[in-house]
Structure 1
Amino acid sequence: MRTRPDVPAWIVPPALIGWALLALPLVGLVLRVDWRDFGSLVTTEASRAALWLSLRTASASTVLCLLLGVPLALVLARSTARWASAVRAVVLVPLVLPPVVGGIALLATFGRRGWLGQHLEVLGIEIAFTTVAVVLAQAFVSLPFLVVTLEGALRAADPGYADVAATLGAAPGRVLGRVTLPLVAPGLVAGTVLSFARALGEFGATVTFAGSLQGVTRSLPTEIYLQREVDPDAAIALSFLLVAVAVAVIALVHRPGRSPW
């Protein structure tokens, strides 16, 4: 295997072991799938409802992450104030929290007895244990992926282009849309894909905050967990389906011949 001058030969074996640590469980999953009954296992009414719900809510949460995450990443990347470090620390918290803790935090905020949810309920707005709760739970755990990825891309981009555009009289909004965002487009796409993939596989925060009501809040990861207790073959088949969907989404962006992200 040929490597670049800054990659010593001894780096290759641990790199291969690291790759194997990620790849072998996926191989084991494929080997355990009951291919003869795969179609019937993944096309039950419950499975189809769970998959459709996961795709809809993951898409909605990704849109929410874009609407909120792009401005947040831009502010963090361009700010040198002390408060930016505190804001960034809050953004990073969901990355290290157990998802179930995130679900409890959401429930404590938006639940019927939550400090905000109890006031929303007076207005007739219920969030916990609804499809909206699934979207919020997914956005809570996936938003940091978009913000961190895009902030890194913004910091790495040459600010000279934006300065030149501003010097020529372009308004800040025009500079952002015509110069800055095109420069960091690979990072934006990478963050979006990571957010969608993370939302698609979210389980802990979702089941804690949204529950498990078929067709309303029971996402595909929740359906897999429930099937694991009653029908392990169905759980394995659905797990493979979830992996296949995630790989397909990533493959649409990270195609051969295209630079990584």
Structure 2
Amino acid sequence: MGWLGPEEWAAVALSLKVAIWATLLSLPPGVAVAMALARGRFWGRGLLNVLVHLPLVMPPVVVGYLLLLTFSPVAPVGEALAAIGVVFAFRWTGAALAAAVMGFPLMVRAIRLAVEAVDPKLEQAAATLGASRLRVFATVTLPLILPGVLAGAVLAFAKSMGEFGATITFVSNIPGETRTLPSAIYAFLQQPGGDGAALRLVLVSVLVATGALVASEALARAMTRRGGS
């Protein structure tokens, strides 16, 4: 299998699967929440802002435990979802959910900054020409905030690839099912002679994180240039 062994490849592949699904599924609500926080004036806006950013300041283990309490098969929500075939606890889908929750604040913050950089007069001008709110968003707002949306997606993807505390608390560390890249590193460090495999996976994690940061900075610069023009 080349540089990485079969078990290491399995962890990398699962992490990519989890991170991609977590990013894709959280992107639409991330854009909606960012728009609401940047443009909305409604009761509870401050509370929504706190709830969105809470995973950033809470210990990841606490987030994972709350997810377990909510989506466990014996909990009301988890039981109702299990009845229709949707199970999160101790499944890779749960790892994706935990990763999405932890990456959501980073995504929302990047998109919100992009929305706030858009001149509202551009949107107002389109509205005065008869465009609906949905058309204004699709033809004016979204193209202008696209670098921020992409930057938020990249940051959420990188956070999902590196998520450990919430994931291992919610879905455990099951080989082939929930053992993501960070969980595999932890598992290898507990095994005699596993240092080499752990180091290789650490290098993969560093490369992914570095690539994400470089891409995010490039998108931020593109957004700044677009805002200046």
**TM-score, normalized by length of structure 1?**
0.79
Match of 1:188 in 2: 149
CA displacement 1:78-135 (0-9 Å, x = unmatched): 1122311111110010010111111000000001222311233344432200111011
Does residue 113 (structure 1) correspond to residue 79 (structure 2)? The answer is no
Does residue 84 (structure 1) correspond to residue 45 (structure 2)? The answer is yes
Distance 1:157 1:119, change over 3 A: same
Match of 1:155 in 2: 116
Give the CA deviation at 1:57. Answer: 0.9
SS at match of 1:116: helix
CA contact 2:155–2:216 (8 Å) conserved in 1: no
CA contact 1:104–1:205 (8 Å) conserved in 2: yes
Distance 1:123 1:59, change over 3 A: closer
CA displacement 1:28-85 (0-9 Å, x = unmatched): xxxxxxxxxxx86x52111000000000110110001212111111112111223111
Where do residues 1-261 of structure 1 align in structure 2 (5 Å cutoff)?
43-230=4-191, 231-252=194-215, 254-255=217-218, 259=222
CA displacement 1:136-183 (0-9 Å, x = unmatched): 000010011111221122122210100000111111111101111111
CA contact 2:8–2:197 (8 Å) conserved in 1: no
Give the CA deviation at 1:250. Answer: 4.0
Identity percentage of aligned residues: 38
CA displacement 1:191-241 (0-9 Å, x = unmatched): 111111101100011111111122211101100011112212221221011
In structure 2, give the amino acid aligned to 1:238. Answer: L
SS at match of 1:214: coil
Question: Take 2:222 and 2:133, find their aligned partners in 1: how far apart are those partners?
Answer: 29
Match of 1:10 in 2: none
CA contact 2:4–2:200 (8 Å) conserved in 1: no
SS at match of 1:199: helix
Structure showing greater Rg? 1
In structure 1, give the amino acid aligned to 2:203. Answer: F
SS at match of 2:76: coil
Question: Take 2:222 and 2:83, find their aligned partners in 1: how far apart are those partners?
Answer: 52
Question: How many corresponding residue pairs?
Answer: 221
Structure 1 unaligned segments of length 5 or more: list them: 1-38
In structure 1, give the amino acid aligned to 2:18. Answer: T
CA contact 1:166–1:172 (8 Å) conserved in 2: yes
Match of 2:227 in 1: none
